[in-house]
A and B are shown apart, each in its own frame.
Chain A
């Protein structure tokens, strides 16, 4: 029964979830609301598990002096944000919002912007025309890169035209193939889960 019940649940849920796309009506709306509330509950439980896990990991780091000060900072920031959120809310003008806008936002934007530096370094060291295929890729990427900046059209009026053609034809064809492949794979997987043929999600 340990296996049959989850498979049966998967089948019923899948049919309901899939059917809602084609069938309208109050029953469908209610079942969607039921699942949406289920998502929220799962999310809340997930947050609790996440906070426990982070706290536990950092507790051991503090205890055994493994990057102790980073761990103290990490845990104290988590609990500070929780405290600020509970104490004064999260709306605009609150300490929580100030911390978010002035600490979290710049930090996250900075981390993402580091990509530009890594890309420049990687482009210099690895982006080489070692074969015909890589040479084609290199030329195409340079044209697309130049077509995306205003100076590209100034260098040669044909650069934006060729860049657009690369994006609209070869690149789009590849993307389309990937999308088709992805969706076919999803449908196959869905059918396999429906009928209990795929059991990897049940730890088999």
Chain B
């Protein structure tokens, strides 16, 4: 017993890393689909879905992409599920990049989706548009201007018909891994847009107060939020469809359980050691 205690106390961190690695990698290997657990949608995620559901064909949705590849695992699946949902509803999608490192990632994701047979009818400039980047957080000031998007971005296209300023946007969603979208919440007072948010798991608690006040219509929190959104889209449009977030949830589940196990073992070792020392 004493030996085990000593070993556990001085456990090599590489063993911990290996266990975590295996808990993440095994569930996403081919043949382990039975480890995919159904995720029940929360009311916060469903609220975003419902906002898109009530839109009509031709309404305008604004996606504020404020994340870079470091948050890709959590936020890219949400973007993909949301964009697909918008395209299924045939609403116009404006994608703006608030971070320079997100532009290529976003454009490639849109290209990948529109290359599929189901969305091959989507045309840039008509059904969606990749708007460009304005540096150093100047973007929100640009959008708040009462000048038109076309004038600001020198973009031509049918998509801008009837959509000239931020006031003409029917729904806005922000995707970020930081507190960046606090500004957008504040600006609602002036421009009265509906605003939802998809953030990394660690940022979720920061936005809960805004959800409670109704300033945010909904929130997809982390990979789980994305998996919930995938399920909502799947239940409504594509039966038995699972995206990368749903698959990733099995990894998330097992890695959480492993960390949970380490915390328990760590505490047991601590108390046994404490008792031994008196």
Contact = CB atoms under 8 A, between A and B. Distances in A.
Contacts of B136: 39-40, 42-43
A117 B190 CA distance: 44
A117 B12 CA distance: 13
Main secondary structure of the interface of B (DSSP, over half): helix
- Candidate in B144, B147, B209, B257 with the most chain A CB atoms within 10 angstroms: B209
A150 B37 contact: yes
Interface residues of A, number: 53
Interface in A35-92: 35-36, 39-40, 42-43, 90-92
B69 A105 contact: yes
For chain B, the bracket of interface size reads 35 or more
B234 interface: no
A139 to B, nearest CB: 11
Interface string B194-211: 000000010011101100
Contacts of B265: 124
Contacts of A109: 69-70, 72-73
Interface stretch (B54-62, B82-90, B102-110, B153-161): B102-110
A4 interface: no
A118 to B, nearest CB: 9
B141 interface: yes
A120 B104 contact: no
B145 A33 contact: yes
Interface stretch (B45-53, B168-176, B237-245, B248-256): B248-256
Given A39-B136, A142-B263, A116 B255 contact: yes
Main secondary structure of the interface of A (DSSP, over half): helix
A121 B17 contact: yes
Nearest to A43: B135
B201 A148 contact: yes
Given A109-B73, A142-B260, A151-B37, A92 B107 contact: yes
B13 interface: yes
Given A124-B262, A127-B267, A145-B256, 10 more contacts: A32-B145, A39-B136, A91-B107, A101-B108, A112-B70, A120-B19, A123-B262, A150-B38, A153-B40, A168-B212
Interface of B: 11, 13, 16-17, 19-21, 24, 37-40, 68-73, 101, 103-105, 107-108, 111, 134-138, 141-142, 144-147, 190, 201, 204-206, 208-209, 212, 222, 224, 249, 252-253, 255-260, 262-263, 265-267, 270
